[in-house]
Amino acid sequence: MSSTRGVMIFAEQTGGVVHPVANELLGKGREIADTLGVELSAVLCGHCMEQEAQELIYRGADNVYLFDNEALASFDIMNYRANIVALVEETKPDIFLLGATPIGRSLGPRLAAALNTGLTADCTSLEVDDEGHLVQIRPAFSGNILAHIKTETRPQMATVRYKIMQSLPRDVERQGHIVRPSLTIGEPLARLSKVPTDVEKQIGVSEAEVIVCGGRGLKKPEDLVMLKELADALGGVVGCSKPLVDSGWMDKEHLVGFSGNTVRPRVYFAVGVSGSSQHLIGMRTSERIIAINSDPTADIFQVADYSIVGDLYEIVPRLTAALRESRERDRTAGSVCS
Ligand code: FAD
């Protein structure tokens, strides 16, 4: 087993709320740290986040390094990088993990470059081999193979996709230390003056509990309205396969799969989606998959819990109407009782 100084994860936050990927990293990090017999630490940059630091302990961290300063309240790449690099150089973790989120994807390569080490992006699995090396597993060659990558340099760094790893249950008995390292604050290159309120409220496909995903079975962009109506009836959001992004029908943030988001909603509707390996990689762990496709041999049916063979243009409006009707019935029944 290699001599190791611990596992560290980056707990990102926005608006004082820690991203749930941090809990998933702690879940996986705890497993790796226990296998190696080392400590698990989290690094949190923000302002007035003592309570959130404590929560990271409840979720598995032995130590939380809390960089607390007003200038760190929102993501400031230069100040985040400078302080985390100094911390890593001092504490020398053997493994450093970040979420493969926009913030993690932006910070990770900069940390790796400053620390003169490698970074494996977008891992979907992590293991420890017999020598104690981190095996970083991620899809490669269009998602057709899983590459197993080891890094010679230290720390071994990886970004990990959201909604892949399991979080630990919150345990308020868990003990740990909150450490406040000395920090340096430089002039920020840019300052965030305001977050538009509609962006604040938006739920992305990664967080959604219900996703209605449209594929190339749709004939024109206006038909997305039909999917939006179904998503609204279910309290969900609309996602899409890659051809819809390539055609400019939807933004990449709605994309599900290898090149976009990994999702794990309670219910995933695949509407006119064939089920390519690159698409399946991003959604196959959804709790319930309902596929609507006119081709009974479509690969999506291999992973579907409920298969509806037929024309989406007939089925989707009927589903939406049935859901609305049933909601209206519930509402009327509720008003009679009250
Ligand atoms: P198609 O494969 O064309 O399937 C359309 C389906 O609609 C068919 O099964 C058809 O039977 C059905 N259909 C047609 N009309 C109707 C109707 N009226 N009613 C019901 N069903 C109907 N793809 C992704 O999705 N996400 C990714 O992240 C991604 N990354 C990629 C990365 C690389 C490097 C590469 C090479 C490819 C990637 N792709 C990705 C593309 C992927 O290979 C497929 O081309 C894509 O997923 C196909 O999208 P689709 O299922 O919507 O379209």
Residues with CB under 6 A from ligand 1: 142, 215-217, 241-243, 255-260, 272-274, 276, 278-279, 282, 292-295, 298, 311-313
* Cα 137 from Cα 152, distance rounded (Å): 15
Q: Which atom of ligand 1 is nearest to the CA of 241?
A: 25
Confidence of residue 335 (pLDDT cuts 50, 70, 90): low
What is the residue-averaged pLDDT of the chain? Answer: 93
- 195 has pLDDT over 70: no
Please report the atom of ligand 1 found closest to the CA of residue 243.
Answer: 49
Which atom of ligand 1 is closest in space to residue 292's alpha carbon?
20
- The pLDDT assigned to 1 comes to 40
Give the model's pLDDT for residue 327.
82
Q: List all residues 6 or more positions away from 36 whose beta carbon is below 8 Å from its beta carbon.
A: 1, 4, 7, 94, 128, 132
pLDDT at 172 over 60: yes
Give the model's pLDDT for residue 66.
Answer: 98
If one residue of 124, 241, 294 were mutated to test the ligand 1 pocket, choosing by the most ligand atoms within 8 A of its CB, it would be: 241
pLDDT at 143: 74
d(CA 238, CA 227): 7
Please compute the mean of the pLDDT values over residues 195-210 and round it to a whole number: 73
Q: How far is the CA of 258 from the centre of ligand 1 (A)?
A: 12
> pLDDT tens for residues 105-114?
999 999 999 9
Other C-beta atoms lying within 10 Å of the C-beta of residue 222: 9
In this model, does residue 92 exceed pLDDT 50? Answer: yes
User: Which pLDDT value is given to residue 236?
Assistant: 95
Report yes or no on whether pTM surpasses 0.85: no
Closest CA to 5 of 88, 65, 86: 88
123 Cα–ligand 1 center, Å:
23
Domains and CATH numbers, the chain: 7-179 (3.40.50.620), 203-337 (3.40.50.1220)
Kindly state the average pLDDT of the residues 49-64. 98
